[in-house]
Amino acid sequence: MKTINVGLIGGGFMGKAHSLAYSAVPMFFWPTDLIPVKKTIAEASEDLAADAAARFGFENSTSDWRSIVDDPDIDVVDIATPNHLHAEIAIAALQAGKNVICEKPLARTVEEAGAMYAAARATDKVHMVAFNYRRTPAVALAKRYVDEGAIGEILNFRATYLQDWSADPSAPLSWRFQKKIAGSGAVGDIATHIIDIARYLAGEISSVTALTSTFIKERPVQGAGADSLGNTKGGSSEMAPVDVDDEVMTLVKFASGAVGSLEATRNAWGRNNFITFEIHGTEGSIFFNYENRDELQVCFKADGDDRRGFRTVYTGPNHPNGANLWPIPALGIGYGETKIIEAHDFFTAIAGGEPVRPDFGDGYQAALIDHAILMSAETGAWTDVPLLDRETGLLRAAV
């Protein structure tokens, strides 16, 4: 069994989740083709890097991410920094011949995402964008139902991503509220996840009409402490503007002819990680709520008039991604498991010399949709989404 050396850049929330996954991959997926070795971690300062290395179990630490990219012993570069660094690091890493996994959104803008995709196409290395929610067993089970035709032809797809960590105006100005770092607000941060799920389950989105709004227009500058979500303690008395969207609501048309809606906000008191989707097809319906992520609700026309209704399937070893997790259903799938599956699939692709999805092409297509949403919110018009042609790498006009 071979090992593979990982260089992780960013030791915050996602640094923790990815480090956990690297330790856990061989525990869950055994035997495994490649055992990840946590070689080097980069953070914003030497102290933060040394601290992260000790905490997450990396052999080395650095405050210079370029030393990871330049290190011939590193096989995988993992980008878990705020969004403004994704493009620069990913392009440098791909050009240095590394396999790259990058957190979502792939980039701040569609231009950056396009450049990252071009760099990925120019190598034979594996690239992946970390849309991990599609690896939740119940979401993958929904995909199985759709692919098997169990709900027939999809007529509509509606999804929400609601959180409340930013609902308090005294929560400090996290990087997630700053356009120069984040690119956009709820659109790139969380709507992008349900855009990925929409594409995964219902196919390409061809046109959108959207509105966005920013209700909390300034926040206290982060004074002390970590940039932690929903933290109301680190703010100074100085205020600074929020220049990204708080909320987005979108109607979408799919290339298949299906229609749908996507909504995202981080200001919905009481909603924590309320990722839901409901799909209605000609033969049945599927409903999912991440806050009950062991469950998928399904309803089939074929059940007959006297017994038709939603029933709950608890995911377990017999469901997608489940055999390697826990031995019986409903023990509780966590966020960490989605990251473990994601890491396993990434390493399997590297070992087999095969591509993995979602890749930088998927990240780019999601960025094209994010961009169309932001354009539509500005103009008030329906806005077409160009479709990435994976054969040529070029964009085609929406169908």
Residue 195 tokens, joined: 């855009």
Among 229, 330, 331, 399, binds ligand SOE (CB under 6 A): 229
Q: Which is nearer to ligand SOE, 107 or 190 (CB)?
A: 190
The contact mask relative to ligand NAI for 239-278 (x = CB under 6 A, - = no) is ----------------------------------------
Size of the site for ligand SOE (CB under 6 A): 6
Which residue number is nearest to ligand SOE in terms of Cβ?
189
- 190, interface contact from ligand SOE, ligand NAI, none, CB < 5-8 Å by kind: ligand SOE
SS3 132: helix
Q: CA 350, CA 340: separation in Å to the nearest integer?
A: 15
CB of 266 to ligand SOE, least distance (A): 5
Residue 380 tokens, joined: 């008030």
Number of residues assigned to the chain: 399
Q: Which is nearer to ligand SOE, 229 or 394 (CB)?
A: 229
Residue 98 tokens, joined: 């590394």
Q: Does 163 bind ligand SOE (CB under 6 A)?
A: yes
In the chain the beta strands, taken as DSSP E runs, fall at 2-9, 34-42, 60-62, 76-79, 99-102, 127-129, 154-162, 205-213, 218-222, 235-241, 247-254, 259-265, 274-281, 284-289, 295-300, 311-314, 383-384, 387-388, 395-396
Q: Which is nearer to ligand SOE, 18 or 253 (CB)?
A: 18
- 44, interface contact from ligand SOE, ligand NAI, none, CB < 5-8 Å by kind: ligand NAI
Q: Name the strand (E) or helix (H) holding 197.
A: helix 192-202
Q: Does 181 bind ligand NAI (CB under 6 A)?
A: no
Crossing angle (nearest 10°) for helices 86-95 and 110-121: 10
Which residue number is nearest to ligand NAI in terms of Cβ?
12
Peptide bond into 31 cis (omega under 30): yes
Q: Name the strand (E) or helix (H) holding 100.
A: strand 99-102
CB of 344 to ligand NAI, least distance (A): 16
- 310, interface contact from ligand SOE, ligand NAI, none, CB < 5-8 Å by kind: none
Restricting to residues 91-120, which ones interact with ligand NAI according to CB under 6 A?
103-104
What residues make contact with ligand SOE under the rule CB under 6 A?
A: 163, 189-190, 193, 229, 266
